[in-house]
Amino acid sequence: MTFSVKSPILGFEDIKTVEIEPLENGFFKISSKERDEGKESVSFTVVNPYVIRPDYDFELPTPYQVLMDIDDNSGLEVYNMVMLSKTIEDSGVNFLAPIVCNVKNKTLSQVVLEPKFYPQYGQAERIGAIVNKDVYVVKGPILGFEDITKVEITPLDKFFVTMKSKQSNDEHKNTSFTLINPYILRPDYSFDVPTPYQVLLEIHDKSELRVYNMVMLNKTIEESGVNFLAPIVCNARNNLMAQIVLDPKDYVEYSQAEKISKFLGK
């Protein structure tokens, strides 16, 4: 099926039309059909994200809806770029720049999502890690639960996730925590990952990281507190995670139990 490119494919802004062909097991090939004069045809491997990540979800910004003349979601198809490696399991998927196709009018756009609103997604997430769910090996201990060595992180909604111990022993079998995407409340939230943690988590690029903060639940969400001084940092590439303790002297703007109500309505 041939599509007209309405919003450019990153790095290939001169491609005007493409053809999408199915391969197998949820994978497809996108080939350029029309480029600037003198440019050779190129092709990309993409994947239907819902095959490997059924809960994949994002809001399509209004400008893209207008650009592609979208009136509902019934005619939409979504794909994500695959960075091929030696094996499918080691290949990476870019969940932060989905390719959205409107089958009704044969138009296509690559949509760039804002990472701070989608910390659960990365630009090069290893397929093997996704298939094995969001299970992380704890490299830097969770405060007060230093013997937990493996956790599973599950989204609740676009704001909150649960982090549950994967220990087999009785003591921590049902231990779980509520975490929040800090950038929803505090878009300017920022900190430096200390070098020892970069080594421990084998961080190569910040785009690999997901950041969460512990929530101390109260009777209402508004009265619940957030610990901005001990972020949970997850490397989505290799499924390693650590809780990082920030020095209050260096981050005087953050505290251990800031009420969510403080940030609502800003």
Do 73 and 107 belong to one domain? Answer: yes
Is 219 a member of any domain? yes
Residue 58 binned pLDDT confidence (cut-offs 50, 70, 90): very high
Out of 93, 117, 141, a domain closes at: 117
- Residue identified by tokens 């499918």 is 88
pLDDT single digits (tens) 217-227: 999 999 999 99
Residue 169 binned pLDDT confidence (cut-offs 50, 70, 90): low
CATH number of the domain to which 175 belongs: 2.30.290.10
User: Is the pLDDT reported for residue 170 higher than 90?
Assistant: no
pLDDT single digits (tens) 120-149: 888 998 887 777 567 899 999 999 999 899
Out of 117, 146, 174, a domain closes at: 117
pLDDT at residue 244, as a whole number: 97
pLDDT single digits (tens) 19-40: 999 998 899 999 998 776 777 8
Which of these, 262, 212, 210, 263, lies nearest to 238 by C-alpha position?
210
Residue 264 binned pLDDT confidence (cut-offs 50, 70, 90): confident
Higher per-residue confidence, 156 vs 212: 212
Is 127 a member of any domain? no
pLDDT single digits (tens) 217-257: 999 999 999 999 999 999 988 889 999 999 999 999 999 99
Which residue range(s) make up the domain with 234?
133-262
Do 143 and 188 belong to one domain? Answer: yes
Q: pTM of the prediction?
A: 0.56
pLDDT at residue 36, as a whole number: 67
Do 144 and 207 belong to one domain? Answer: yes
Do 64 and 171 belong to one domain? Answer: no
Rounded average pLDDT over 76-105: 94
Is 72 a member of any domain? yes
Residue 151 binned pLDDT confidence (cut-offs 50, 70, 90): very high
Is 91 a member of any domain? yes
Do 188 and 253 belong to one domain? Answer: yes
Q: How many distinct structural domains can be found in the chain? A: 2
